[in-house]
Chain A
Amino acid sequence: AQTVTQSQPEMSVQEAETVTLSCTYDTSESDYYLFWYKQPPSRQMILVIRQEAYKQQNATENRFSVNFQKAAKSFSLKISDSQLGDAAMYFCAYRSAPDTQGGSEKLVFGKGTKLTVNP
């Protein structure tokens, strides 16, 4: 079974600074997707960024980028120019690629990292 580990329960960053959130995962599959979701106090999970394992290039979405190290099974999220609105819980998640033999279409989440942005 796949597992996702987020070793930082809490992180803080100064507004306009850069912060990196860590995530490691365990899987025996070769093709899969990794995600970072943001959960603000409103509770709704919002997709921040997605990485397909077969793509070597790291995904970027505006101020958000990932460092995907497939061999190390590491998937960190970098937030540049942090804004007050970035404060939230951040969850790393894994799912099997579609049509993977024996794969699952469910998302497997880590326990989350609470990000505080200080003005």
Chain B
Amino acid sequence: DAGVTQSPTHLIKTRGQQVTLRCSPKSGHDTVSWYQQALGQGPQFIFQYYEEEERQRGNFPDRFSGHQFPNYSSELNVNALLLGDSALYLCASSLGPGNTEAFFGQGTRLTVV
């Protein structure tokens, strides 16, 4: 049973560029949440997707957008990258948005130079 998988594991982008991160939820899970974890900090909620719609959103600018596909996988897009966007991006999946048991992927380390 595959857990939550994220790709790529690492990437380096230049300021001003755009990036897409991908997440495949744990088998059977239909809800995906994204978190940003800056160095030395706890994760911060970006948004949650369920039934292909953004269900909740944290305090992040519109440069951060997402998508969920019919197979429940999800993408996180960040436009006009800033140096401050450098962080570990974590994806978590659950069976239903109300389920309190969330499983995390290993994250994507994004470095903006």
- Name the CB-closest residue of A to B103: A47
A42 and B97 contact, Cβ closer than 8 Å, known pairs A109-B43, A111-B42: no
With beta carbons under 8 angstroms apart, the residue of B42, B92, B102 that contacts A112 is B42
- Name the CB-closest residue of A to B108: A43
A44 and B104 contact, Cβ closer than 8 Å, known pairs A106-B56, A112-B42: yes
| A33 close to chain B: CB less than 8 A | yes
A98 to B48, CA, bound (A): 15
* A111 partner residues in chain B, CB cutoff 8 A: 40-42
Tell me if A105 and B101 are in contact (CB < 8 A).
Answer: no
A99 and B98 contact, Cβ closer than 8 Å, known pairs A45-B92, A105-B56: yes
Q: How many chain A residues have a CB neighbour from B under 8 Å?
A: 25
- The residues in B between 8 and 31 inclusive whose CB is less than 8 angstroms from any CB of A are none
A33 and B56 contact, Cβ closer than 8 Å, known pairs A44-B106, A106-B33: no
- Name the CB-closest residue of A to B47: A106
* A95 partner residues in chain B, CB cutoff 8 A: 100
Tell me if A45 and B40 are in contact (CB < 8 A).
Answer: no
Most buried by A among B33, B100, B107: B100
User: Could you tell me the distance in whole angstroms from the C-beta of B88 to the nearest C-beta in chain A?
Assistant: 6
With beta carbons under 8 angstroms apart, the residue of B45, B55, B104 that contacts A45 is B104
- Name the CB-closest residue of A to B50: A105
Interface residues of A (CB under 8 A from B): 4, 33, 37, 42-47, 50, 91, 93, 95, 97-99, 104-112
The 8 closest A-B pairs by CB, nearest first: A109-B42, A98-B98, A45-B104, A106-B45, A44-B106, A43-B107, A33-B100, A111-B42
